[in-house]
Amino acid sequence: MDQHHAALSLRGRTLLLAPAVVFLAVFFAWPVVNIMGEGFRGEGRWDLSGVATVLSDPAMVRVAWFTTWQAAVSTVATLVLALPAAAVLARYEFRGRRVVQALATVPFVLPTVVVGAAFVALLGERSPVGLNLRGTLIAIVLANMFFNHAVVVRTVGGFWEGLDPRTEEAARVLGASRWDAFRSVTLPALRPAIASAAVITFLFTFTSFGVIRILGGRGHATLEVEIYRQTADLLALPVAAVLALVQLLAVGSLLVVQDRLERRQQRTGVALAPAERRRVRTVGERWWVGGNLLVLAVFLGVPLACLVSRSFRTSSGYGLAGWRALGEVRRGTGMAVAPTVAVMNSLRFAAVATVLAVTLGALAAIALARSDGRVARSMDAGALLPLGTSAVTVGFGFLVALDQPLDLRASPWLVPIAQAVVALPFVMRTMSPALRSIDPRLREAAMVLGASPGRAWREVDLPLVRRGLLVATGFAFAISLGEFGATSLIARAATPTVPVVIVRLLGRPGALNSTEAFALSTILMVLSAGAVLLVDHWRVRPRAGAGTWV
């Protein structure tokens, strides 16, 4: 009887995993393998002679070097800025803390083109601070810091608030200063979480596309931007294939490191306790908390406020010219439809992508939650591969590979499929911890009382994971809404998305084009921010010490 149930359980897990596996095989693995094959194939046979040529090309070496060191600089700068904010939000209780924490998360789910547009509004032509830093490393690093700030706050702060404060207090009682107690007690305990946040931040800055495309200019191209240029502009498939492979190997290595750091963090012997935050009492604490909140408000708020302000600024003062232009098809923009049509396209595509990602991701997460550790880790790592692959490569692979047995290359529905490929790992990453936290004895008790496996899941599991499902839905929608890498290649002229239109407008001269782009970015910002604020409202707070970056 037990063996029969075990076999049935194995068969059930296989059936639950199959849709996600097939989806990723058809719409991720096959396009990527196909584009690699097209790039390495010469005159009907495999030809790897061009690999060494590409890797030794000084221009390509410069691109790889810039990609690496700008990511390293951005990572260090993000840690320096975000760690104090993580400390304040983890250790102090003050009025509005939940709101501040939610608002601090907003930049991470903003589309990268919105972040790029915000820093163009702040540091580009007609800058309100009198600086034109567009096309400089400073603008790129600041935008990367803005985008990844929440990664550090969530990852480190979630772990920090679970540390038992009495350990540090004991060191203070024994004569250690506040700094010595932090350095010798708290910091060693935080190192795994800080390292994990650093790897995640490096990963996102290493694969940056939208920010670099808008702010970088010709002299600052990352591997992702260069892959786009080689495929879309130059049609140099062998070069693009080699660069995509280099990026895939680099990011795959980062994912392995990240997985080990997370497991090390879970196995840490550090004493964890329920979150214990203290009220702000002394003058020093007021200055510390107030100063950090002020820095947070200025750094995260000013670019977005400037974006909104610039959407109303015209060559003759302030007005609604940019907003009115959203309903028009103007000459000189290169667009076949009005930007308002792009808004509706984005909403429709994001809704379809969300349904796909949440359905497939939820089924796979259920299966993985009931698998042993090694199988679950392997599948979890496999699901994260889309994050380590150039979205541009995936998009171009769609155009090359999806012509048989049905030619889908001209279908506008390729856009939500590509968005679902990107969002699926986030759904699985969000739902898996919630599912694994369910005590299996609850389900077993329901079955002992006569409930079928399906009814036991509906009556026991579903109510416990409902919030996690809503969080996954919100993240999937926000991510799909702002996806730009693959969409920039596969979106049709008649059905563009908002990020595509924003980049197109910012790339053309004229004050009205910029103002229109800022207005469109403001709309996308409001939609994405609304999704993340709902996510934070629905979020199940992690158990003590369980930091998270989503």
How confident is the model at residue 176, as a pLDDT? 67
> Could you read off the pLDDT of 251-279 as tens digits, one per residue?
878 877 877 776 665 655 454 555 567 78
pLDDT of residue 221 exceeding 70: yes
Determine which helix (DSSP H) or strand (DSSP E) holds 34, and give its type and residue range. Answer: helix 30-40
Distance CA 545, CA 115 (A): 30
Give 306's pLDDT tier (boundaries 50, 70, 90).
very high
Section 319-345 average pLDDT: 85
Distance CA 327, CA 348 (A): 18
Give 135's pLDDT tier (boundaries 50, 70, 90).
confident
pLDDT of residue 7 exceeding 50: no
Cβ(224)–Cβ(208) under 8 Å? yes
Determine which helix (DSSP H) or strand (DSSP E) holds 318, and give its type and residue range. Answer: strand 317-318
The answer to whether the bond into 405 is cis (omega within 30° of 0) is: yes
Give 429's pLDDT tier (boundaries 50, 70, 90).
confident
Cβ(453)–Cβ(521) under 8 Å? no
Considering only residues 523 and 109, tell me which one the structure prediction assigns the higher pLDDT.
523
Mean pLDDT score of the chain: 80
What whole-number percentage of the chain has pLDDT above 90? 20
Q: Residue-wise over 441-463: b if at least 16 C-beta within 10 A, else e?
A: eebeebeeeebeeeebeeebbee
How confident is the model at residue 441, as a pLDDT? 67
Q: Which domains does the chain have, with CATH numbers?
A: 48-263+284-310 (1.10.3720.10)
Considering only residues 19 and 543, tell me which one the structure prediction assigns the higher pLDDT.
19
Distance CA 219, CA 342 (A): 30
Give 236's pLDDT tier (boundaries 50, 70, 90).
confident
Considering only residues 372 and 484, tell me which one the structure prediction assigns the higher pLDDT.
484
pLDDT of residue 114 exceeding 90: yes
pLDDT of residue 225 exceeding 80: yes
Distance CA 269, CA 181 (A): 18
- Which residues neighbour 343 within 8 Å (Cβ) at sequence distance 6 or greater? 326, 498, 520, 523
How confident is the model at residue 56, as a pLDDT? 79
Cβ(121)–Cβ(113) under 8 Å? no
Which of 187, 198, 159, 189 is CA-nearest to residue 77? Answer: 198
How confident is the model at residue 157, as a pLDDT? 82
Q: How many other β-carbons are positioned within 10 Å of the β-carbon of residue 157? A: 26
pLDDT of residue 5 exceeding 50: no
> Could you read off the pLDDT of 18-72 as tens digits, one per residue?
888 899 888 888 888 887 776 666 555 566 666 777 877 888 889 999 999 999 9
How confident is the model at residue 140, as a pLDDT? 94
Distance CA 56, CA 120 (A): 34
Least confident of 130-144, 166-180, 282-296: 166-180
Pairing of strands 92-93, 45-46: unpaired
How confident is the model at residue 502, as a pLDDT? 92
Cβ(205)–Cβ(74) under 8 Å? yes
How confident is the model at residue 517, as a pLDDT? 92
Cβ(255)–Cβ(381) under 8 Å? yes
Cβ(84)–Cβ(292) under 8 Å? yes
- Top mean pLDDT of 78-82, 125-129, 219-223 is at 78-82
Estimate to the nearest angstrom the gap between the alpha carbon of 408 and the chain centroid.
Answer: 27
Least confident of 188-197, 234-243, 312-321, 370-379: 370-379
pLDDT of residue 444 exceeding 80: no
How confident is the model at residue 318, as a pLDDT? 86
Distance CA 416, CA 420 (A): 6
Section 283-310 average pLDDT: 90
Give 139's pLDDT tier (boundaries 50, 70, 90).
very high
**Helical residues (DSSP H) of 483-540, grouped into ranges:** 487-490, 498-506, 511-538
How confident is the model at residue 493, as a pLDDT? 80
Distance CA 327, CA 340 (A): 6
- Top mean pLDDT of 108-117, 237-246, 271-280, 371-380 is at 108-117
